[in-house]
Amino acid sequence: MRIGLITPEPEHPLLAATSALLAEEHLVEALDPAGTEPAGPLADVYLLKSRTERALVLARELERRGAPVVNTAAATALCQDRTAMAELALRAGLPFAATRTVGPLSAWASGASFSSPVVVKSRYSRRGDLVARVDDAVRLRELACEWPQEPVVVQQFTPNSGWDHKLWAIGDQVFAALRRSELSPGGRGPNRPLVVDELPAGWAGLVRSVGTAFALDVYGVDIIDAGGGTPLIVDVNAFPGVRGQSGAPEALAALALRRAAGRK
| DSSP per-residue codes, 5-55 | EE-S-TTSHHHHHHHHHHTTTSEEEEE-TTSPPPPSSPPSEEEE---SHHH
* Rounded-to-10 torsion of CA 50, 191, 97, 230: 140
Predicted confidence (pLDDT) per residue in 202-242, tens digit = 999 999 999 999 999 999 999 999 999 999 999 999 999 99
pLDDT at 127: 87
Predicted confidence (pLDDT) per residue in 4-34, tens digit = 999 999 999 999 999 999 999 999 999 999 8
Predicted confidence (pLDDT) per residue in 177-195, tens digit = 999 888 877 667 778 889 9
Query: What's the mean per-residue pLDDT of the chain?
Result: 94
pLDDT at 46: 98
Collect all residues with Cβ–Cβ distance below 8 Å to 214 and sequence separation of at least 6.
75, 78, 79, 85, 88, 89, 236
Q: Residue 262's pLDDT band (boundaries 50, 70, 90)?
A: confident
